[in-house]
Amino acid sequence: MLSEGDTAPDFVLPGTDGDEIGLFALADALEQGPAVIAFYRFDFHPACTDQVCAIRDLEWFEFMAGTRTVAISTDSAFSHRAFAREHDIDFPLLSDDTGTVSDTYGVLSDGVADHGLVSNRATFVVDTDWTVRYAWAADDLDDKPDLRPVKRTLESMA
């Protein structure tokens, strides 16, 4: 897994915020400010819904000018669109359907039950110099991300 101080790899992935499906590039986000990258396992899974909706509900993102947030899983962009619409997700959900980006970030998992390769739950904060300023990944399926360190990291960058 990438660690704090590592250089974040660029990626371009298809995704949606519930409207149109298009391509999203990390490079474009970092031109505006830092990025929060949250990996999650599946759309519509109760634990993952809680994870993505918790990010959606964070009011402090409104006060962090220029911060871009994306969430990545191996589900399709079409699944993401339905998920975003159902849960009013207003940030891009990106489709890493081949697992390449998840693997590059060191968070690709062998899967769960009958699912193939999936993204492990993980959160990264990347600054505009492409440096990973915060990195966390779940050790097991029940681990939930604590978003308070994400907030502290972003505040320290302001």
Q: Which of 48, 122, 125, 150 is catalytic?
A: 48
Residue 125 carries which side chain, given as an amino acid letter?
A: V
Tell me if 136 sits within 8 A of 129, measured CB to CB.
no
- Residue 53: active-site member: no
What distance in Å separates the CA atoms of residue 33 and residue 129, rounded to the nearest whole number? 10
Q: Report the distance separating Cα 142 and Cα 108, nearest Å.
A: 16
Of the candidates 147, 157, 143, 117, the residue with the CA atom closest to the CA atom of residue 47: 143
Q: How far apart are CA 57 and CA 20, in angstroms?
A: 22
What are the residue numbers of the active site? Answer: 48
